[in-house]
Amino acid sequence: MSNAKPNPPLPWKTKLSLSLAAILADVTRRKNGTINRRLLNFTDITTKIPKKPVRGLKIIDITVDPTRKLWFRLYTPSTDTTNVHSAVTLPVFIFIHGGGFAYFSAASKAYDDLCRRFAHELSVIVVSVNYRNSPEYKYPCQYDDAFDVLEFIEGKHCKEFPSHADLSRCFLVGDSAGGNIAHHVAVRAAKTDSLREMKVIGLVLIQPYFGGEERTESEIRLKKAPLVSIARTDWLWKAFLPQGSDRNHAAVNVFGSDKSVEEITRLDQFPDTLVIIGGFDPLQDWQTRYYQGLKKCDTDSTAFLAMASTTKQQTQREIFSPEIVKQGVEGSGPYAGSLSFSVKVRQGIPDFLSSVNLKYVKLGYTYCITHGLYFLTVPVLIFISAVVLRNLTGKEYWSRDNIVTNTASTISLLAVILYAYVRLIPRSTYLVDYACYLPPIELKISKEEFIKLARRSGNFDDDGIQFQDRVLKHSGIGDESYLPRSVFEPGKTLTLNDGREEAAEVIFGVIENLIFNTGMRVKDIKILILNCGSLNTTPSLSAMVINHYKLGHDIVSFNLGGMGCAAGVIAVDLAKDLLNAHPGSYALVVSTEIVSSAWYNGKDTEMLLPNCFFRMGAAALLLTNHHFGNWRAKYQLKQLVRTHKGTDDKSFKCIHTKDDSEKKQGLVVNSKHLLEVGGEALKANITTLGPLVLPFSEQLRFIMTLLNKKTKLYIPNFKLAFEHVCVLATSKKVLHEVQKNLELTEEYMEASKKTLERFGNTSSSSIWYELAYLEAKSRIKRGDRICQIAFGSGFKCNSIVWKALKTNTTAAGNRRRKNPWIVEDE
C-alpha cells in the first residue's frame, strides 16, 4: 500500500484563482501549438513605468536590442531610501520572471511589484529581464536574451545605469522558468571571459522549472495539480525545446548525465546557490535532484535548500535557514564603501525541524504560494465579462424577436451570480463600534493611597505591605487607576455579593456606553459572549445581562471563565464563528475582570502581585458580518491567530489559582518564569501571524538570509505590516520586553504604556482602552492596520488584526460617542 500522502489541501480562494488561471492558460493555447498572444496580452495586467520616482524608487525601461524586442526594467533606490551616503555602492539583482517560458513579461504587475519590493526593502538595484517567449522563440533564445543583458550592462552601453551599482556583487534570481534560465546563465557567466567587472556571486532559484522523461513520485502524486499540472508542463516543454527533443534535454534535465556534474565541477566561479522548493509543486522532486546534483559538484560554491509547505516526510535532508546578518557600509577590504549584503549559514539541526523558526519559513512560503496567483483572477474575470458584453451588444441579441427571451435570460443569469456571491462568498466580520468603561471618580486611587488603605485594612503584614509598595513603584501604573474600596475594608471577607455588585456596575455601565455610541437596539442582539476570568456565578454573568436587558429567548449566549487576559480575543474569535453560523446577525461581546473576586488578603508574596496590577475596567464590542456592514462599521477583522502553550508544564503552571497555607484563595503569578513563557508564546504566535500580514519582500529577506549559531535571529520588520500596535498593558517590564523583541518604536508602544499608566492592567479589556487612546489622539486613518496582542494564563498569546474603515475624527470635535480618554481630557 502506498505511503504517499494525499495532495495538500488548498483554501477555496486559492483553488478558484488557480482554476481561473488554468482556464486562461488553456484558452490561450491553440491546437497548432501556438499561443493567442492578443488574448493573452488583453488579460495580462501590466504596469507602466511611473514618470516620477515612487517611494524613492526610480524605474525606467532600457532597450537592449530593438530588433528582437529585448529590454529590461531597471529599479534604482535613491540614497534617501537606503539610509546611506550617496557614495555607497549597492548590490545588483538580475531578476528573471517565470511563466513556463511562454507567459508574462517584466512589465507584468505581479513581477513588477515583486521587483519594487526587492529594491525598496533590500536596498539593491534590480534589473528585471524581459526575454522572448516560446513557442515563437524556442531554446536557446531565452538564455541568449538573459545573458545578453549581462553583457550589455558589462559593456556600459546604458548611460542610465546607476554609477553606484556594484557589479562585483551580482545575484541571479529566477522564479519558475526564470530559475531554469538563471541556472544556465550562471553557467555561461562562469565560463566566459567577457564578464570582467560583473561577478555573479549568488544564485537564488524559486521553484525552478526542471524536469525529465522519468515520472517522479511528486509528478504522479500531483499530476492534476491546479495550474501546474503535468499535462500543461509537458506542453510548455514541447513549446520551448527544439523540434524532436525530449525532456531529457540538458536544458530540462540539468544533471541527467555525469557530464553535467563534471562541467560544473570544472567551473572556477560557479556561485553559491539557494534552491527554494514548493510542497505544492509537481516538479519538487526535480528541484531536489538539482540541489543534490550541485552537492555532487566539487566546487568552492555551496548549495542551500529551503522547503516551503512540504507534503511528505523526508528523513534525510539538509535544511538551511537564511538570515541577513549584516547590512551596513564596509569600511575596509575589497568592498570598502559598499553597502554590505553578507550572509552566513547554519546547517540543519535535527530538533530545528520542529522549531517555530522553520514553522515561520514554511508558513511564509505557503502563504506566498497560496496567494501569489490571486492577480490572475481579475484579468480572467475581465476577459469573461468582455466576452459576455460583446454578446450583449450584438444586434441579433437585442432584436425584436429575441428581446423578451434574452432579457429574461440576462436577468436570470445576473440573479444567479448575485445569489452565488451572497451565499458562497465568505462574509467579513466587522466591528461596528466599541466602548470602554470609565469608573466613577471616587474610585480613583494613587499608589500612596493604595499603600495607606492596605496598611489600614489590617489584611497584610509588614512584609506584604513593603512588597506591594516596591512593586507599585516599578509597575508603570500611575496615580489615577480605579479600585473598588470594598477590597480595603478592615477585617472584611470578600463575598460573592461583592463580586456581583462590581460585575453589575462595570458590565451594565460599559453596555450603556456602547448603546450610546452605536444607537443599537438590544432586541437586535442575537449573540452574546461575556468573558470574565475570576468570577463565575450561577446563573452566569451572561444570564445576568440577558435578564437585565430582557434579551430575546432565542439569543445564543456564552460565558467564558478562567481564560485570563487573552480571553477578549478568544471571545471575538467565537463571535466570528457564531456569526458565520448566523449570518447577518449582531453579536455583543463584553470583556472584563472583577477585581474584588481576584483580590488576595494574605501573606504569600507571589499571590500579592495581581493586587498591584489589576484594576477595574471593561469593554463592550458590537460585531456583525452583514454584507453591507462596512458602510456602518469602524473596523474590519483581517486576521486572528491564537496560540496555546498548555502542553508545556512550565507554561501551564505559570499563572494559576490556589489556596495559601491559611486556605485563602488567590492568583499565583510565577514572575521568574513569566517573561520566558510569555516570550515563547509570543514567538510562536508572531511567527504564525507574520506570513499572513508581512510584505512578501520581508518574508523573502527572512528566508534568503542564513543563520549563524552566534548570530541573533533576524526579526522581520513588523512596522511594515501595521500602522499601530496595542500590546496588553500587563506591566512595565513586560511591555519593555515586547518592545525590545519586536523592535518597536516608542510611537508604537505609546498607547500600551499610556493605558498602563492611566488605567492599570484591566485584563482582557486593556487592548480596547489602547485603541480608544489612539482614536482620542486622532491617530487612526482610513486603511490603517491595527494589531492587538494579548497574553493570558494557560499560557496563551492571541493576536488580532483590524483594518480601519474610517478616518477617526473623535478628537477633532465629534463628541457624540463616549471615549474614556476624551472624558478625561474634558
What is the residue extent of each domain of the chain? Answer: 36-374, 433-825
Asked if the model's pLDDT at residue 176 lies above 50, the reply is: yes
Query: What average pLDDT does the segment 150-158 reach?
Result: 89
Cα-based angle 717, 719, 725 (whole degrees, multiple of 5): 130
Pick from 167-176, 206-215, 483-492, 504-513: least confident: 483-492
For residue 682, give the C-alpha cell. 509570543
Asked if the model's pLDDT at residue 225 lies above 90, the reply is: no
Q: Residue 54 carries which DSSP code?
A: B
CATH number for the domain running over 36-374: 3.40.50.1820
368 in catalytic set: no
Average per-residue pLDDT in the chain? 81
Q: Which residue has the higher pLDDT, 226 or 789?
A: 789
Compute CA distances 772 → 804, 815, 824, whole Å: 13, 13, 12
Asked if the model's pLDDT at residue 725 lies above 80, the reply is: yes
Asked if the model's pLDDT at residue 651 lies above 90, the reply is: no
pLDDT for 361 equals 42
Query: What average pLDDT does the segment 689-697 reach?
Result: 77
pLDDT for 360 equals 40
Asked if the model's pLDDT at residue 24 lies above 80, the reply is: no
Q: What are the φ/ψ torsions at residue 211 (nearest 5 degrees)?
A: -175, -160
pLDDT for 678 equals 86
**Of 601, 724, 726, 819, catalytic:** 724
**Of 644, 654, 798, 819, catalytic:** 644
761 in catalytic set: yes
- Residue 544 confidence class, pLDDT cut points 50, 70, 90: very high
To the nearest 10°, report the CA torsion of 130, 135, 138, 144: 0
pLDDT for 614 equals 92
Name the most confidently modeled range: 95-109, 375-389, 674-688: 95-109
3-state secondary structure of 484: coil
Q: Report DSSP letters for 608-665, one per residue.
A: THHHHHB---EEEEEEE--TTGGGT-SEEEEEEEEEE-TTSHHHHTSEEEEE-TTS-E
- State pLDDT tens for residues 45-71: 889 999 888 888 999 999 999 999 999
Q: Are the CB atoms for 346 and 255 separated by under 8 Å?
A: no
Q: Is 20 left (phi over 0), alpha (psi -120 to 50) or beta?
A: alpha
Query: What average pLDDT does the segment 309-322 reach?
Result: 35
CATH 3.40.190.10 fits 433-825, yes or no: no
- State pLDDT tens for residues 702-718: 655 544 444 445 566 77
Asked if the model's pLDDT at residue 628 lies above 90, the reply is: no
- The dihedral through the CA atoms of 752, 757, 761, 767 has a sign that is negative
pLDDT for 236 equals 93
Query: What average pLDDT does the segment 611-622 reach?
Result: 93
- Residue 700 confidence class, pLDDT cut points 50, 70, 90: low
Q: Residue 522 carries which DSSP code?
A: G
Distance, CA of 565 to CA of 568 (rounded, Å) = 7
Q: Which residue has the higher pLDDT, 674 or 553?
A: 553
Q: Is 207 left (phi over 0), alpha (psi -120 to 50) or beta?
A: left
Asked if the model's pLDDT at residue 387 lies above 60, the reply is: no
Distance, CA of 187 to CA of 180 (rounded, Å) = 11
pLDDT for 823 equals 65
pLDDT for 550 equals 93
- With b for 16 or more beta-carbon neighbours within 10 A and e for fewer, the 68-83 pattern comes to eebbbbbbbbeeebbe
Asked if the model's pLDDT at residue 345 lies above 50, the reply is: no
- State pLDDT tens for residues 472-500: 998 899 999 999 998 888 877 888 888 89
Burial class (CB in 10 A: 0-12, 13-18, 19+), 769: buried
Asked if the model's pLDDT at residue 369 lies above 50, the reply is: no
- Residue 162 confidence class, pLDDT cut points 50, 70, 90: very high
**Of 459, 531, 761, 819, catalytic:** 761
Range list of H helices, 4-108 = 12-28, 37-43, 79-82
Distance, CA of 521 to CA of 526 (rounded, Å) = 11
| Greatest Cα pair distance in the chain | 99
Distance, CA of 722 to CA of 701 (rounded, Å) = 18
**Of 170, 368, 532, 565, catalytic:** 565
- Residue 11 confidence class, pLDDT cut points 50, 70, 90: low
Query: What average pLDDT does the segment 594-622 reach?
Result: 90
Distance, CA of 78 to CA of 76 (rounded, Å) = 6
Residue 474 Cα to chain centre, angstroms:
35
Q: Is 355 left (phi over 0), alpha (psi -120 to 50) or beta?
A: beta
Asked if the model's pLDDT at residue 180 lies above 70, the reply is: yes
pLDDT for 147 equals 96
Q: Which of 726, 728, 775 is nearest to 751 (CA)?
A: 726
pLDDT for 312 equals 33
- State pLDDT tens for residues 128-144: 999 999 999 999 999 99
Q: Are the CB atoms for 185 and 172 separated by under 8 Å?
A: yes
Burial class (CB in 10 A: 0-12, 13-18, 19+), 789: buried
Query: What average pLDDT does the segment 267-273 reach?
Result: 84
Asked if the model's pLDDT at residue 766 lies above 90, the reply is: yes
626 in catalytic set: no
Distance, CA of 706 to CA of 808 (rounded, Å) = 42
Pick from 309-313, 429-433, 764-768: least confident: 309-313
- Residue 307 confidence class, pLDDT cut points 50, 70, 90: low
Q: Are the CB atoms for 681 and 796 separated by under 8 Å?
A: yes
Work out the number of other CB atoms within 10 angstroms of the CB of residue 399: 10
Range list of H helices, 192-269 = 217-221, 230-240, 258-265
- Residue 514 confidence class, pLDDT cut points 50, 70, 90: very high
Q: Which residue has the higher pLDDT, 811 or 276?
A: 276
3-state secondary structure of 169: strand
